Amino acid sequence: MKLIKAIIKPFKLQEVRQALSSIGVEGMTVTEVKGFGRQKGHTEIYRGSEYTVDFLPKTMVEIAVAADRVGEVINTISKAASSGKIGDGKIFVLPLEHVVRIRTGEVGHEAL
């Protein structure tokens, strides 16, 4: 099993969710994060002084999936999250050793 962490632009969350849902992936956990990268933050100007907001609001989507679905999920996310502009984000894949569903005690693929 793998844990996929995708950092995307916040306004793409809906599209990504729908796309994942259409390939049968319904479970995910979403965190609001701040991104630093090539895409730069912005300045806000108050009373003639510049104030730097150097991070960008981003959304992190974490999805645990069976190893054999990783490619499909990556592609789906990539397509849905892409705007073609800088700052579209990244997808990270981490090994996932074990999963438990708290309610039932199911483990492994059952628990996804």
Partner 1 sequence: MTRSVAGSRWLLAFLPLLWPLTAQAQPAATATLNTGDTAWMITATVLVLFMTLPGLALFYGGLVRAQNVLSVLMHCFAVTCIASVLWVAGLYSLSFSEGNGWIGDLQHIGLRGIGVGELNGRTYPETVFVMFQMTFAIITPGLIIGALVERMKFTAMMLFTALWLIVVYAPVAHWVWGGGWMQKEGVLDLAGGIVVHTTAGVSALILAWFLGPRADFRARIHPPHSPGMVMIGASMLWVGWFGFNAGSQGGANAAAGMTMLVTHIAAAVASLTWTLIEWRKAGKPGLVGIVTGMVAGLATVTPASGNIGPMGAVILGVLAGIVCYFACGLIKQRLQIDDALDVFAVHGVGGMMGSILVGVLGTATFGGSGVTSAGAQLVTQIKAVGFTALWSAAGTVLIVLVIKATVGLRVGQEAEYTGLDQAEHGETAYHLD
Ligand X SMILES: Nc1ncnc2c1ncn2[C@@H]1O[C@H](COP(=O)(O)OP(=O)(O)O)[C@@H](O)[C@H]1O
CB of 23 to partner 1, least distance (A): 20
- If binding is defined by CB under 6 A, does position 62 make contact with ligand X? yes
Q: How far apart are alpha carbons 102 and 112 in whole angstroms?
A: 11
* Binding residues for partner 1 (CB under 8 A): 10-11, 14, 32, 42, 44-49, 51-54, 57
Report what 19 binds from ligand X, a second copy, partner 1, none; CB cut-off 5-8 Å by kind: none
- If binding is defined by CB under 8 A, does position 50 make contact with a second copy? no
Token look-up 């994060």 returns 33
Task: CB nearer to a second copy: give 11 or 92.
Answer: 92
Token look-up 């592609």 returns 75
Contact between residue 34 and residue 4 where contact means Cβ atoms under 8 Å apart: no
- If binding is defined by CB under 8 A, does position 85 make contact with a second copy? yes
Contact between residue 12 and residue 39 where contact means Cβ atoms under 8 Å apart: no
CB of 44 to ligand X, least distance (A): 18
The dihedrals phi and psi of 42, each to the nearest 5 degrees, come to: -135, 170
Token look-up 């099993």 returns 1
CB of 46 to a second copy, least distance (A): 20
